[in-house]
């Protein structure tokens, strides 16, 4: 039996969880900063790191209390050490190093992107045993849009990545243009019509390079120009009707989802995958979840929305499997932060 504390502070959520045996969540505490950053329309790195300093101690204590265990009951401590915002990562890693050094509990550094993949192991299924490798993994969030082939535990091949902006960042930009607030993904999903929108947006097609790559900068420009043409941007020019905003939001969401699903489907066929894992905050989008399952005739594992967005449980679950399938880890004081680290390169 293993009990692992997971700390996640790569962006704006201070998240701490305790996971038993890599699949059972004993506690999962998330201190959100949405209200802090919403007035700015996006994450302000300096504000995020300062808030992590305030939140991290109480969040760890609450996670321990919710799990009804003491520090000495833990078998390991895990922490996100990249990629992410440097200041935010530093708060989590330094706190974890101090905690581990003072208790002599082993410390494991976890790649944030790999953590999103292992959130799938927290959904009452073991993809490795119940589906089998290889698995196509889509990680879509505010900072990343990566398509990976998971060939075994800890073995990844990068199949495609965004050439410009991440899908989540594109949602945030579109929501700002439409005056829907932050974060953009949930705001757009809330107002988008349940039926296909009359507003359509272009899909990127690459003449050169990797056809499994993504691009969302053109979509951002397209919705901005559409809003200007309709007179609803900049704000205050013409009061937009709810139906116009809904149609634009729906069309934009359709375009993002179509781009993601088409590349996942292509990757499954090219690499003879046995299943698909979706992870990252954008994977909480209900249309993406539905379309992926409807378009791909094989198992598609999508964690509950709370485990798609940043959380400590995915970090602890990933650490459990690293302990099971690897033998060497950095010791407490040698762990560093890697803000631009990638997976599968």
- Is 148 within 8 Å of 159 (Cβ atoms)? yes
Exposure string of 30-60, with b = 16+ CB inside 10 Å and e = fewer, is bbebeeebeeeeebbeeebbbbbbebbeebb
Which of 17-21, 69-73, 136-140, 191-195 comes out lowest in average pLDDT?
191-195
pLDDT at 205 over 90: no
Is the separation of the CB atoms in 116 and 279 below 8 Å? yes
* DSSP helix/strand/coil, 213: coil
% of the chain surpassing 70 pLDDT: 97
pLDDT confidence of 334, banded at 50, 70, 90? confident
Give 58-102 pLDDT, tens digit per residue: 999 999 999 999 999 999 999 999 999 999 999 999 999 999 999
Please give the domain boundaries of the chain with CATH numbers for all domains.
Answer: 3-118+307-334 (3.30.420.40), 132-302 (3.30.420.40)
pLDDT attached to residue 239: 75
Q: Which of 64, 79, 149 is nearest to 115 (CA)?
A: 79
> Which pLDDT belongs to residue 209?
84
Distance from the first to the final alpha carbon of the chain: 33
Tell me the CA distances in angstroms from 210 to 159, 188, 331, one per residue in order. Answer: 8, 29, 38
Q: Please give the structure tokens belonging to residue 176.
A: 């700002």
* pTM, full prediction: 0.96
Q: Tell me the sheet residues that pair with 139.
A: 146, 279
pLDDT grade for 185, boundaries at 50, 70 and 90: very high
User: 16: which strand partners?
Assistant: 7, 29
For the chain, what is the mean pLDDT? 94
User: Tell me, what's the pLDDT at 228?
Assistant: 92
| Per-residue pLDDT reduced to its tens digit, 267-314 | 999 999 999 999 999 999 999 999 999 999 999 999 999 999 999 999
What is the C-alpha to C-alpha distance for residues 150 and 128, in angstroms, rounded to an integer?
10
| C-alpha span between 316 and 333 (Å, rounded) | 19
Kindly report, residue by residue over 226-274, the tens digit of the pLDDT.
999 988 888 876 777 899 999 999 999 999 999 999 999 999 999 999 9
pLDDT at res. 331: 62
- The whole-angstrom separation of Cα 268 and Cα 68 is 42
Q: Output the pLDDT for position 194.
A: 85
Which tens digits make up the pLDDT trace of 121-165?
998 899 999 999 999 999 999 999 999 999 999 999 999 999 999
| Per-residue confidence (pLDDT) for residue 328, from 0 to 100 | 66
Paired tokens of 163: 């050439």
Mean pLDDT lowest among 41-45, 185-189, 330-334: 330-334
CA distance 267 to 199: 28
């Amino acid at each position: 039996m293993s009990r692992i504390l997971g700390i996640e502070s790569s962006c704006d959520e201070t998240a701490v969880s305790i996971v038993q045996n890599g699949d059972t969540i004993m506690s999962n505490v998330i201190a959100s900063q949405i209200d802090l950053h919403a007035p700015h329309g996006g994450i302000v790195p300096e504000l995020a790191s300062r808030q992590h300093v305030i939140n991290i101690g109480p969040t760890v204590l609450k996670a321990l209390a919710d799990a009804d265990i003491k520090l000495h009951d833990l078998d390991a401590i895990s922490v996100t050490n990249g990629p992410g915002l440097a200041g935010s990562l530093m708060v989590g890693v330094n706190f974890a190093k101090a905690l581990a050094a003072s208790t002599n509990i082993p410390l494991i550094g976890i790649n944030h992107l790999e953590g999103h993949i292992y959130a799938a192991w927290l959904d009452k299924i073991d993809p490795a045993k119940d589906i089998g490798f290889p698995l196509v993994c889509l990680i879509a969030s505010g900072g990343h849009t990566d398509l990976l082939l998971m060939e075994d535990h800890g073995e990844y091949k990068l199949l495609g990545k965004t050439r410009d902006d991440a899908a989540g960042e594109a949602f945030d930009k579109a929501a700002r243009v439409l005056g829907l607030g932050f974060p953009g993904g949930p705001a757009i999903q809330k107002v988008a019509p349940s039926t296909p929108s009359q507003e359509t947006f272009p899909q990127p097609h690459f003449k050169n390079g990797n056809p499994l790559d993504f691009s969302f900068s053109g979509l951002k420009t397209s919705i901005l120009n559409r809003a200007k043409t309709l007179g609803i941007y900049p704000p205050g020019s013409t009061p937009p009707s709810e139906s116009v905003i809904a149609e634009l939001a729906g069309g934009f969401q359709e375009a993002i989802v179509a781009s993601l699903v088409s590349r996942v489907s292509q990757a499954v066929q090219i690499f003879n995958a046995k299943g698909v894992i979706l992870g990252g905050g954008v994977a909480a989008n209900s249309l993406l979840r539905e379309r992926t399952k409807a378009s791909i005739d094989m198992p598609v594992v999508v964690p509950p929305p709370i485990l798609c967005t940043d959380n400590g449980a995915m970090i602890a679950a990933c650490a459990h499997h690293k302990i099971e399938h690897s033998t060497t880890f950095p010791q407490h004081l040698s762990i560093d932060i890697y803000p631009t680290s990638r997976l599968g390169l």
